């Protein structure tokens, strides 16, 4: 099995690879539970554990996108505009799949479903290399191994 780190968004039957490099990608799981404490007794009890959705945060740079170099300010800004447009979710039907790994040749996939953008930030202060940060929330905490759209 060949793992290829290629963060991407699959939305409206289109796979959009995030601009690279992506030096930081973090997946944050969390659980809910009720905590019960008996007065004057040591310890407590957690009951009703349930998994929350997953938050994925990443930081990237606009060096290339799908293998195509972005070397000018204009090209980097165009790519940021395309990324912003892709990440926009204005209705439930526009939620997307977020891929961490995908390699269609070997059939290797790792993705989250029912994703929407929570936060997007871009830094245009370095004219040689624009950067961005992104927080995506996946309502479904399962890490799927299926192809886009499946």
Look at residue 40 and tell me if it is in a domain. Answer: no
- pLDDT(84) > 80: yes
139 within domain boundaries: yes
The token duo for 2 is 């060949």
Is position 43 within any domain?
Answer: no
Asked whether residue 84 is assigned to any structural domain, the reply reads yes
Task: Report if residue 133 sits inside a domain.
Answer: yes
Mean pLDDT rounded to a whole number for the chain: 94
Quick one: which of 11, 34, 7 has its CA closest to 97?
A: 11
Give CA–CA dist 61/79, Å, rounded. Answer: 11
Total-model pTM? 0.90
Does 62 fall in a domain? Answer: yes
> What mean pLDDT comes out for the span 105-114?
94
Segment 17-26 shows an average pLDDT of 97
Query: Is residue 13 domain-resident?
Result: yes
Would you say residue 1 has pLDDT above 80?
no
Q: Residue range 129-150: average pLDDT?
A: 96
Expressed as residue numbers, the domain containing 135 is 5-30+52-144
Q: Judge whether 41 lies within some domain.
A: no
Q: What are the DSSP calls for 8-55, one per residue?
A: EEEETTEEEEPPB---EEEEE--EEEEEE--TTSS--EEEEEEE--EE
Read off the pLDDT band of 114 (50, 70, 90): very high
Instruction: Answer yes or no: is pLDDT of 14 > 60.
Output: yes
CATH number, domain of 139, equals 2.40.30
The reported pLDDT for the residue numbered 92 is: 86
Mean pLDDT of the region 36-44: 92
Q: Which of 30, 35, 10, 6 is nearest to 94 (CA)?
A: 10
**pLDDT given for residue 119 in this prediction:** 98
The number of domains in the chain is: 1
């Amino acid at each position: 099995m060949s793992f290829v780190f290629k963060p991407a968004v699959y939305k409206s039957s289109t796979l959009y690879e995030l601009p690279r490099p992506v030096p930081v990608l973090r997946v944050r799981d969390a659980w809910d539970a009720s905590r019960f404490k008996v007065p004057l007794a040591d310890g407590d009890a957690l009951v009703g554990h349930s998994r929350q959705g997953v938050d994925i945060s990443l930081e990237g740079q606009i060096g290339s996108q799908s293998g195509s170099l972005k070397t000018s300010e204009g090209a980097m800004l165009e790519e940021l505009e395309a990324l912003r447009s892709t990440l926009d979710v204005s209705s439930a039907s526009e939620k997307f799949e977020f891929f961490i790994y995908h390699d269609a040749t070997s059939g290797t996939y790792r993705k989250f479903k029912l994703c929407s953008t929570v936060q997007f930030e871009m830094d245009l202060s370095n004219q040689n290399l624009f950067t961005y940060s992104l927080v995506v929330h996946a309502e479904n905490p399962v890490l799927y191994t299926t192809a886009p759209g499946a």
